[in-house]
Chain A
Amino acid sequence: MNEWIAVGMLALVGLLIPLAMMAVSYLIRPSVPETSKRATYESGEVPTGGTRIRFNIQYYMVALLFLVFDIETVLLFPWAVVYLDAVESDAVSLLEILGPMLVFVAILLVGLAWAWRSGAVQWARSPYQVETEADRP
């Protein structure tokens, strides 16, 4: 039997369980519509302004950084799988299997160091940093 059938079946069960719970809840829950009840929650106050507010640009910065590192991990996986076999067979030396990956990771770590230095992974700037940046030409 193809093992992915079982995985697909678990996906089906994983969908059926929430749907069954929603069906049961639909049958037993009351429905008393009121307009004030359906207002957006804002700590009991009347909501001010829209919801699509401006938020910290850093969310985008870390997402960009994540893309780079996520692709890196995908590229590292095949290497990790064949690593043990490669070092146990005498066909290649340790340096040959380890060296290229060291260089690859090192390049990315240089990138991380640059992102670190330029403040891409820093959530908020300290008052001191804001001040010194204002002085720059």
Chain B
Amino acid sequence: MSRGAPEMVLQVGEPMLPERIGDLTGLGEFGVAGELIAAFLAAFIVGNLMLAMTGLAGPWAKRKITAAFTDRIAVNQIGPAGVGIIVADAVRLLSKENIIPENVDRPAYDVAPIVVASSAMLGFAVIPMGTGIQLADPEVGLAYVFAVSGIASLGLVMAGYASSNKYSLLGGLRAVAQNIAYEIPLVVTGMSVVLFAGSLQMSTIVEAQSQALIDLGVVSIPQWYALVNPFAFVLFLIANFAEVGRNPFDTPEAPTEIVAGYQTEYSSVYFVLIYLGEFLHIFLGGAIIATIFLGGPAGPGPAFLGIVWFLLKIWGVFMMTQWLRSAVPRVRIDQLIEIGWKGLLVLSFANLLLTAIIVGLIA
């Protein structure tokens, strides 16, 4: 942050991405149809940006990071540093035969991968990714994100049950037990941020974090809620890793116990969709963390760099999931449930009450 008044990256009431595109292309003059096309274009850009992120993360970055942890080189043959593997893997996976086991429940088995992939995409609608790069800014922003990210559990339990496989069934049940155990700590901890900001609207939450917390003369430290309330930040991080099913909480797909959990019977494009949904979910979790705890697109430099800072923050969260994947052992299913209900739930309520008292005393 530069000296003096911190630059406002985001202001409440700024035009959203659909309006900007409408103005830029002149589509806004064509009435409702133009507005719809502009909104579709904006959604297309945001959707494909996140698709590109997962494309980079899944086949390439994940391999490279794991390789760095285990002292290997990993993919390095196609293109610079092996990034061509993304295209090669996409073609390879999509051209695989789609083997559909004989006992599956047909409509649910086919719908589940779509539910998993598109539910994660929906959450990005309200995330401010930079100056004006936000699809919509409804007043219920934060509640909306929590609500749509919860839909994925439905897809996972559908996949698990419809696969007609014992491993899948157990994986699907574990996924839903885990999601419901960590949903409450996640939402209650997110609520402690709402106590500070006084709003569920994403742009208001980001703007509330743009004030200086401490002014050190040369630099001023912004009032990011991760710095204001580090306890809530740590709780939210842990609950988020459990919510997206990453290590040490990847019990639903524990390969040493239940093969691949709910995705055991999925192959070809269906597997790609479930995999895509998982990565989108990691990034959605990162986007929520960046928005409500790390100042969203805020950072040093001019405002148009907001998107860069935002992407750096969500990649930071992704890197952390990969670090935990290489470094932390998995918890057992009974430990997982007990950590959620006996540990995080109690701590998150303690955090909420403490935050309420502190906000009440300061104000």
Contact = CB atoms under 8 A, between A and B. Distances in A.
Contacts of B165: 40-42, 51
A98 interface: yes
A66 B103 contact: no
A110 to B, nearest CB: 12
A118 interface: no
Contact of A84 (B17, B143, B196, B334): B196
Given A4-B136, A123-B333, A21 B273 contact: yes
B106 interface: no
A13 interface: yes
Interface in A3-56: 3-15, 17-19, 21-22, 24-26, 28-32, 35, 37-43, 51-53, 55
Interface string B323-363: 00000000001100110011001100100110011011101
A134 interface: no
B47 A10 contact: yes
Interface residues of B, number: 92
Contact of A62 (B38, B180, B197, B346): B180
Contacts of B122: 7, 10-11, 14
Interface string B7-48: 000000000111100100000000000011011101110111
B95 A10 contact: no
A6 B273 CA distance: 23
B118 A11 contact: yes
A26 B110 CA distance: 13
B180 A40 contact: no
Contacts of A130: none
Given A29-B268, A77-B191, A123-B334, A14 B121 contact: yes
A114 interface: no
B147 to A, nearest CB: 10
B101 interface: yes
Interface residues of A, number: 71
Most chain A CB inside 10 Å of its own CB: which residue of B48, B166, B264, B359: B166
A59 B103 contact: no
Contacts of B91: 28
A53 B360 contact: no
B85 interface: no
Contacts of B42: 6, 9
Contacts of A109: 346, 349
Interface in B266-320: 268-269, 272-273, 276
A121 B183 CA distance: 15
B221 interface: no
Contacts of A24: 94, 269
Contacts of B100: 38
B357 to A, nearest CB: 7
A65 B184 CA distance: 11
Interface stretch (B74-82, B167-175, B211-219, B229-237): B167-175
Interface of A: 1, 3-15, 17-19, 21-22, 24-26, 28-32, 35, 37-43, 51-53, 55, 58-59, 62-63, 65-66, 69-70, 73, 76-77, 80-85, 87-88, 94, 97-98, 101-102, 105, 109, 112, 116, 121-124
28 contacts: A1-B18, A1-B38, A3-B136, A5-B35, A9-B36, A10-B43, A10-B121, A10-B135, A12-B43, A13-B46, A13-B47, A18-B113, A18-B276, A25-B268, A30-B97, A32-B97, A37-B99, A40-B164, A43-B259, A66-B181, A70-B184, A73-B191, A80-B195, A81-B194, A83-B195, A83-B198, A116-B341, A122-B334
- Which 5 pairs, one residue from A and one from B, show the smallest C-beta to C-beta distance? A123-B334, A84-B198, A14-B121, A14-B118, A25-B269
